[in-house]
Each structure stands twice: as structure tokens, then as C-alpha cells.
A and B are shown apart, each in its own frame.
Chain A
Amino acid sequence: MLGVALRIVRQRALAEDIVHDACVNIWSRATGYDAARGSARGWIYSVVRHLALNAVRNARRHVDIDEETTHTLEADMSVQAFHDAASSFELNTSLGRLQHCLEALEPARRNCVLHAYVEGCSHGEIAERLGAPLGTVKAWIRRSLTSLRECMA
């Protein structure tokens, strides 16, 4: 839990606060937990990630790049980024079916999903990291989500 929070908020003290709050939160809402809605583990991590993401979204608002400006970026740039992309994450842990489905995605699209989920990056931050226009990153993410859902059905 601490590792997951730390990767997103990148500050030890804040990550510890989040794990603390998540535990208290889970504890106080435990009677409202419904096993039919999903696994207990899934719910626990969703609480941790939710708190961590809220913390970074509220703090990192300034990074959101103006959409109009980025639309004017050359289309070449996204093509370049798409081809240049190497996988930024080692998928050697056992991710089960998800691993297969992620590997079926183009590296650039896969990186979008991983930067977002694991590191809590916004669209703007992913665009910066991959050197791709914001609109392209948004499209890649939407496309990746659709492919992942189909692949895992």
C-alpha cells in the first residue's frame, strides 16, 4: 500500500499520511463493503489510489497544459513519439491476462496507461514524458482502454 501511494505522490511523508487515512477510511466504512462489488484487495487499493490521486490532482493542477496551444503542435511530433517509444516499464511480474493484453498494445499506448495508473500522471504530464501532443495522448488512452477491455473480456 505504501509503495503504491509513494509512487504516485512521490513524497514519503504525504504517502504515509495517505496510507494512514486510507486505513482509517477502510476501517470506518468496512461495514459498507459489499463483496459482490469486487475483491477486498481491489477495494483497498482503490481507496489508497483514490486518495493519492486526489492529492496530486489538487497539487499539480498547474501542469495541465492549455489544450489550444498543444493542438497546434505538429502532427509529426506524435508520429515520431509513437515510433520512438520503448517500453518504460518492466512487465516481468505476473500480471496474468492483463500482461498479455498490455503487450498487445503499441509501446506508446501502453506507456500512457502505465504512467497514468502507476505514477499518477495527468494527460499533460504523460504528454511531456512521451514528447507527444496532449490531444494525441488523450486519444491513445481512450483507444488503449477500449482495446484492454475487449482483450480482457
Chain B
Amino acid sequence: MSTPYPEDPRDDLQVLAGEYVLGTLPAAERLAVSQRLATEPALQHAVNDWEERLLPLTQLAEPVPLPAHLASRIEASLQGTRQQARAPAVPAATMRPRNASRGWWNHLGLWRALAGSGFAMAAVMAAVLVTRTAPVAAPPKFMVVLVAPQDKAPGWVVQASSTRQISLIPLGVAEVPADKALEFWTKADGWNGPVSLGLVKPGQPLQLALDKLPPLQPNQLFELTLEPPTGSPIGKPTGPIQFIGRAVQVL
């Protein structure tokens, strides 16, 4: 009965991946692991799992707002890589950045508008990833990053290529209690109260036509609240706000 517990090699892989994500591996081992990731799916998978598991710890670092000079510097570098990729022969002065249908997300105005919290930058970059991997037919005119009210963590992006049609894109899978549902609401300045846009499934993108509502406006509020499984019984939000944000016009 005293047989020692056999070492499971999968546990070693897990610990190695965990230490890699924690950052405790010495420089040489760290480099070795990063090189193995490309060819070892099991290790890559273990690393991804650890990154997701430990991600909440990023909240323990006090958020530092993005200074304007850094936002401009990043913007300049992104513009640079875009111009290089597209038309190296065209002089910069003849480029028309406002016409950049693919480059709206590195528009400086948008970055500045979102640079209020430490999470803003991650929100914009998350939107970059999601929207670049889910191509849209027309360049968006409005964008909303919906963040959790307490920690400002971004959970969803709304983008609208017209004032009549919006897409709601998840940045992760929101946790919703089994006996509750997420309901999507909007309210523009001057409206009496929020109007329901229907129920939303966590982690699932949604396309919506706003044909029964006035056209989308700048600063229009969007929010997701926790409601009974069939939605709010009174047509107004009754549960706590899970995600909230306002529309930013993309010039």
C-alpha cells in the first residue's frame, strides 16, 4: 500500500506552464518554453489556460491612465505600419486618414476618448482583435465599449456601420446565474427611459436592426442588465447593470 504516487507528466507540464505565466522561470528557461510553444500544442494549451486563470490578478495593479503623449506615439507607430503595409510610395501628406476605412480603430480621437481608465487601452485593443477577425461590410460609424461598472473591465463591443444597424460583439463569456438572463438596453439623451433591445446570450454575437428607434446618436447609452430568464417584466431594467458604455462617433 506504500507505493509512491506516480508522477504524472501532465502535472509537470502544467506546473511548467504555470511558472511560465507567473514569470518565475529564469531567463534561459523562459526562452526555451517560448520556443517550444509553437510546436507543442499541449504546452500552448496549458499556457493559455493559466493565462485565463490568473488574468483577474491584473486588477491588483493600480490602473494608470494612458498619458496623451503615449497615445500619440502608439497612434504614430500604428499609422506607420499601416502606411508601410499599404502604399509605401505614397507620401504621407497625401494620405487621408479620415478616409481610412480599415483604420478607424487607431483613430486618435477614439483613443483619447477611451483613455480615461487603465482598462481603456486593453478595451481598444480587444476591439481591434475582435473586429479584425470578424470583418464587417462597411466601416463603422459608431463604436461603444461596454465595461463592467465596478472594475471597468471591457466585456462587449457595439459597433454600428449605419445609424440603423448595430452589432454586439462579446469580448469574453460573461458569467450569468442560471436563473437569470442578460437584457440589452439603449437610451439616447432626451429619451424618457431605456428601451429594450432584447435578450443576449453570453459569448454570442448579435446583429440588430434599430428600425423602430430613432437613429443612433453620439453619447447614446447602451447597457446589459441581469433580468429574469424571459426578460424584464415591466419593460424597464430591474436588475443590476453588468456592462455599460456610451456611443463614440468614429470620424
Contacts and interface: CB of A to CB of B under 8 A. Distances in A.
B14 interface: yes
A93 B128 contact: no
Given A27-B81, A145-B19, A41 B150 contact: no
B130 A40 contact: yes
Contact of A20 (B27, B74, B172): B74
B15 A19 contact: no
Interface string B119-138: 00110011011101100000
A98 B78 contact: no
Given A1-B122, A41-B122, A30 B133 contact: yes
Interface residues of A, number: 63
B22 A116 contact: yes
A3 B118 contact: yes
Contacts, number: 180
Interface string B159-179: 000000000000111010000
Contacts of B30: 53-54, 57
A149 B52 CA distance: 11
Contacts of A126: 24
Given A54-B30, A145-B18, A37 B48 contact: yes
27 contacts: A3-B61, A8-B23, A19-B74, A23-B74, A24-B74, A30-B132, A33-B132, A37-B48, A38-B51, A39-B171, A40-B172, A41-B153, A41-B172, A42-B51, A42-B52, A45-B55, A49-B58, A95-B59, A114-B57, A116-B22, A117-B22, A117-B54, A118-B60, A122-B24, A142-B19, A145-B19, A149-B53
